[in-house]
Amino acid sequence: MLGLAGLLFGRRKKGKLTGNLVKLGGLAVIGGLAYRAYQKQQGGVMATVDTKGQAPGVSGRSDGEALAQAALSLPETSRFHPVSQTEDDALLFLRTMVAAAASDGRIDTAERARIVKGLTEAGIDPEASRWLEREMASPADVEELAASVNDSDKAAQVYAAARIAIDPDTIQEREFLHQLAEALDLDPATRAQIDETASALS
């Protein structure tokens, strides 16, 4: 489906997906968020987040931009770099974001139409729009999302995709994230680092 592999939602509004998209940006933020958790586990300096939401040495940028830049600065062979992600990976991340946004049961028909309209205006083709509309009408469950994840790095990226899609301010959203982490067999320390860093995203 032309357009979906390189397009992920790039902004949040009150914890919901919006129609603003960026090419590679969404993938880069997901990769950067997972990479930062990995670095924290390894004791690396890239894991530090200051109280202003900026990464060390990245002046004038939001933390989200710093995360994306961190991923884009990695060798292209890195499992966290956007170009290392396949179309299947991008679709999995997108399905995860949709499922997370739908977890509180508040993606209604009007909001689905708004999201699809934003995607269409961003340049994705009608087939991709129809796919996404169907996905929002019937989101994947956590077991389905976790089924194709075979390693801890991909698990961290899938969880990161869910976490940047929502601000978990409802019981349903928090339970979705908990169940997803369990289904992914995500290390609790990695999950905690992703949650902490994602909370600082603007």
pTM: 0.71
Residues 6+ apart with CB under 8 A from 200: 49, 53, 63
Domain count, the chain: 1
From the CB of residue 23, how many other CB atoms can be counted at a distance below 10 Å?
16
191 within some domain: yes
| pLDDT tens profile 164-202 | 888 888 999 999 999 999 999 999 999 998 998 888 764
Contact 33, 27 (CB under 8 A): no
Whole domain around residue 12: which residue ranges? 7-199
133 within some domain: yes
Q: What are phi and psi of 116, to 5 degrees?
A: -65, -40
84 within some domain: yes
What are the distances in angstroms from CA 55 to CA 25, 48, 72, 127, 189?
17, 7, 14, 38, 20
2 within some domain: no
| pLDDT tens profile 2-17 | 333 334 443 333 334 4
Q: What are phi and psi of 56, to 5 degrees?
A: -55, 135
96 within some domain: yes
